[in-house]
């Protein structure tokens, strides 16, 4: 039976979008993956580019507010930043909640290559987390 899974962060623009892409890749048909934010900031073009470099296309993703999914009974909820964990709504379901804070690459400033490298570093951390998460919680 496929599980409903939500990845939650502040703006649903970088970290949760990357996690959604990797979770869909690693989970296959074991889960329906959604991502949302406690705010919506649009999908960050640098997140799209960093994921594309690793062969995952998230260019069709949209930035969604968590309230849009209030009718879904989630089995698993992952918060990927401390702010979202603090502001995470209480889900009236049996959802198991997980938390892993990832640095926000969108907050990095400096030359383009430095900023892009930070997106790739965070992407790689999210990829490893998602791969292990699927192995530990969906197999």
Q: Confirm whether 130 is a catalytic residue.
A: no
Query: What single DSSP character describes residue 54?
Result: T
Take residue 62 and report the two structure tokens written for it: 């949209």
Which residues, including other chains, have CB under 8 Å from residue 36's CB and lie 6 or more apart? 6, 7, 8, 12, 16, 64, 65, 66, 68, 69
Of residues 81, 122, 126, 130, which has the active-site annotation?
A: 81
Crossing angle of helices 45-53 and 112-137, rounded to 10°: 70
Cα 107 from chain centroid (whole Å): 17
Q: What is the CA radius of gyration of the chain?
A: 14
Q: Confirm whether 88 is a catalytic residue.
A: yes
Of residues 7, 9, 50, 122, which has the active-site annotation?
A: 9
Of residues 49, 72, 88, 138, which has the active-site annotation?
A: 88
Residues labelled catalytic: 9, 81, 88
């Amino acid at each position: 039976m496929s599980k409903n899974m939500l990845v939650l962060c502040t703006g649903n623009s970088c970290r949760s979008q990357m996690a959604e892409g990797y979770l869909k890749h690693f989970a296959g048909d074991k889960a329906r993956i959604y991502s949302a934010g406690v705010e919506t900031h649009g999908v960050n073009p640098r997140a799209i580019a960093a994921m594309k470099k690793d062969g995952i296309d998230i260019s069709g993703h949209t930035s969604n507010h968590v309230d849009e999914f209030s009718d879904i009974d989630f089995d698993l909820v992952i918060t990927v930043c401390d702010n979202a964990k603090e502001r995470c709504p209480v889900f009236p379901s049996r959802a198991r909640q997980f938390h892993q804070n990832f640095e926000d690459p969108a907050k990095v400033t400096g030359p383009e290559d430095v900023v892009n490298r930070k997106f790739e570093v965070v992407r790689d951390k999210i990829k490893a987390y998602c791969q292990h998460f699927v192995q530990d919680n969906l197999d």
